[in-house]
Amino acid sequence: MSRITSACAVRSVTAVTGVLAVLAAYLLSAAPIAARELNKAGVFDYFTLSLSWSPTYCGSPAGTDDHQQCSPGRRYAFVVHGLWPQYERGWPESCATRETWVDQKIIDSMLDIMPSKKLIIHEWKKHGSCAGVSVADYFRATRLLFKRVRIPARYLSPTDTIMTTPEQLVTDFVKTNRNLSADMISVQCGNALDRGRLSELRICLDRRGNFSQCGANEDRQCRAKTLVMPPVR
């Protein structure tokens, strides 16, 4: 490894560690949830990184008019829905914060993994405001944590519908990601009318950004015998 490559690697690791340390700092000295004020920024137990299956969303009524994410040729597969601070049961939302808007530069920097300006703004107001960090650090951490998850090859850009099961999807992610286990993943799918289409994959992380066992919020999972993943468009 060259000195330049080595230096870049060190800077990358330092950046990841630094941002996650900021997020963790608010929690490591905190009291148990039962003794704390709810819906207060920086007060939560763990994170859920929610990854949306874009083709399912784009094939739904909600995605019909979403030209930013769903226009032909956009070809998104797994995208970030959000990074959610969670309690062991329930979650904080819409916490008081001095930062009430998201700068356009931040929005532009996130569009490759969160391809919707409206979604980015919504996620900050509802979830990011409760992380106890700045807008910039929240979205920087979102990107870093998304990069930490390795998407199995078959789900990167499928041109044909994938027919699988919730269990197989979890198994594929566990095999591809070191330190990830089945109890750290929650599979979400639509109702019977949606014919078992995958809507989201939720991955749980502790306060330091490491893969972690999910809480009660993720207990309700997809029960479809066959999980349908429409192809990218």
- Mean pLDDT of all residues belonging to the chain: 87
The CATH number that applies at residue 56 is 3.90.730.10
Q: Give residue 103's pLDDT.
A: 97
The string of pLDDT tens digits covering residues 63-120 is 888 889 998 888 999 999 999 999 999 999 999 999 989 999 999 999 999 999 999 9
Q: Measuring CA to CA, which residue among 46, 232, 231, 229 is closest to residue 145?
A: 46
Q: Which member of 93, 99, 127, 167 is catalytic? A: 127
Number of domains in the chain: 1
Q: Which member of 37, 67, 81, 99 is catalytic? A: 81
CB 120 within 8 A of CB 105: no
Q: Which member of 123, 167, 200, 218 is catalytic? A: 123
Instruction: Give the residue numbers spanning the domain of 160.
Output: 3-229
Confidence of residue 137 (pLDDT cuts 50, 70, 90): very high
81 part of the active site: yes
Average pLDDT over residues 136-153: 97
122 part of the active site: no
127 part of the active site: yes
pTM summary value: 0.85
Per the model's pLDDT, the better-predicted residue between 62 and 218 turns out to be 218
Confidence of residue 3 (pLDDT cuts 50, 70, 90): very low
Sole residue written with tokens 């601070």: 85
From residue 179, alpha-carbon distances to 114, 147, 166, 213, 233 in Å are: 25, 15, 19, 11, 32
